[in-house]
Structure 1
């Protein structure tokens, strides 16, 4: 999405639970074999002692405080997640808004699987641009991948799942109605989808009457194996590379930059997937397209469900890694499949 003018990102927050399980402990407990743990490359994964929406409230409170924004100034609250939020038929977005005191906000849930956080940023940006008087948009994500319903170490290929939450405030910059200074500046967002790949998370499974009716634990390996047996690996790798390339080029073009390796990017930030997955599916495309240093976050978080992109924005901000005019391209991906890129700079 080409923005007619940049928007501000303030208070990006990564909230992680105190509990964690090291890779060494997971191997010792036979939750994952040593070879797979090495390919994942995570030192450990955070383990929640709160429900996912409760973690989102903590992240949201931190983001609002860091941004200096009161809950009453939030006109839109978007909450994204990929896994069970604690109740069967319920809106976690409304829970987050209520607990934060954002009584005037319109809460919306965003379910675009692991790309949900980036999708929420894009949706919030569109709403802010067409409704300048909206105020501030608060975007939260949260997931808890707890046993027995989810196998965080071995339930998927090339990904380990960590518990945690993120939040950020999206708003207008000075010069616009209600504008304010920001921590980061959002210049462009681009999203590309490949719906033909939806079967990777459906496989040959029949439609069930309720969650986990086919088994007590989410089994992503089963569905991916069925897809690959039917379609072949190239059906995924070729489509993925083309979509990722298109998302990068569109995002840079939206800010008037060119993906020739000469774009003034300080960093390109990969999703928080396993080391081997990044090496095979992301690093070759991103390095060739941009020539920028590739950051591989997530060694101490694992994949945060819908929160990868916001977590990386939080770390860019906390580490003061971008000066004014220095750009970073944050990459997000999710089942379906969908790829998004966010182009930000230091404020």
Structure 2
């Protein structure tokens, strides 16, 4: 979707302390061979800080950087991957209360790791359709330190890191302009992430933990029995989303300075993102994601903020922000950097 007059006025990530994979191996939580294969040096670890509180911390900084006042906001869109708090409770309204605290709609975007990019698309639509309130606040927050997921062994594709992230999407100029945003899905691949797990009762209600490796093993065994797995290719879906969004922005891959991708481990990152986009790790943000792990839906904003804060992109540069989620769906945004490099402490929330 090509957009007009939509900007990122402020972004921020809340990244807690690092927990090294070397330490995890020494403590028996992670296998050394898996560590070598993944290439991940550390993950962010929040201890007992809740996902919504990580989102609140990031949101306060993003709003401060944006220059917007609370009354400018018409909505809050909150994304998460893991459990947020008490069952039947509204994390998004908690985040709303502790940030802009306005009587506006607060919506949870349940789109897995693609949550913030999907929320960006929804925010752009809202701002173009209803310009009387010039800003929408996007937030995300997850803490994977619960008994229902083993961050070290849930998947060979990634290691889970805790984080909060926020973005102020605005009709006023900020540090970047959104040129296009959209997504492509391959619903025939839905069953890959379900495997042989029963749909009812839902796994968490009977104490079943998240283990994507078990579901992959289910399909390996089915294939060995002569039952073909659902058809589709992860990388093809990513490439389709990227090239369609580039075309809508009027650009080609040659115009893209850097790519902010999600935090997959080394081999899956190449197979699913870098190779389909025909770029190397240096044009991506591997040097960053190998230190944080996979931050759920916070990945795209955390990666873009990293490029901006470290001065790796400057005014006039184009950045591709890309991610994916089970479904299977891939999303992409093309942004043009329009502001000067962020200065440490400038607009930060104490």
Structure 1's 258 and 266: CA in aligned 2 closer, same or farther, altered over 3 A? Answer: closer
Which residue does 2:30 correspond to in 1?
Answer: 32
- The gaps in structure 2 that reach 5 residues or longer are 339-350
Which residue does 1:11 correspond to in 2?
Answer: 10
RMSD after superposition: 2.3
Mapping 1:312-331, distance limit 5 Å: 312-331=303-322
Structure 1's 192 and 231: CA in aligned 2 closer, same or farther, altered over 3 A? Answer: farther
Q: Distance in 2 between matches of 1:231 and 1:123?
A: 39
Q: Which of 177, 182, 187 matches 1:185?
A: 177
Shift of 1:345: 1.4
Per-residue deviation, residues 114-142 of structure 1 (Å, max 9, x unmatched): 11111111111111111111321100011
Q: Distance in 1 between matches of 2:201 and 2:232?
A: 34
Which residue does 2:89 correspond to in 1?
Answer: 90
Query: Is 1:47 paired with 2:45?
Result: yes
Q: Normalising by structure 1, report the TM-score.
A: 0.90
Mapping 1:6-155, distance limit 5 Å: 6-18=5-17, 20-48=18-46, 49-155=48-154
Per-residue deviation, residues 287-333 of structure 1 (Å, max 9, x unmatched): 26x99933323122110111111111211221233222211111111
Contact 2:235 / 2:271 at 8 angstroms: preserved in 1?
Answer: no
Contact 2:222 / 2:228 at 8 angstroms: preserved in 1?
Answer: no
Q: Normalising by structure 2, report the TM-score.
A: 0.89
Shift of 1:210: 4.7
Query: Is 1:230 paired with 2:222?
Result: yes
Contact 2:140 / 2:166 at 8 angstroms: preserved in 1?
Answer: yes
Q: Which of 271, 283, 300 matches 1:293?
A: 283
Provide the aligned length of Structure 1 versus Structure 2: 334
Structure 1's 235 and 269: CA in aligned 2 closer, same or farther, altered over 3 A? Answer: farther
Per-residue deviation, residues 83-124 of structure 1 (Å, max 9, x unmatched): 100111122111100111431321000001111111111111
Which residue does 1:175 correspond to in 2?
Answer: none
Which residue does 2:326 correspond to in 1?
Answer: 335
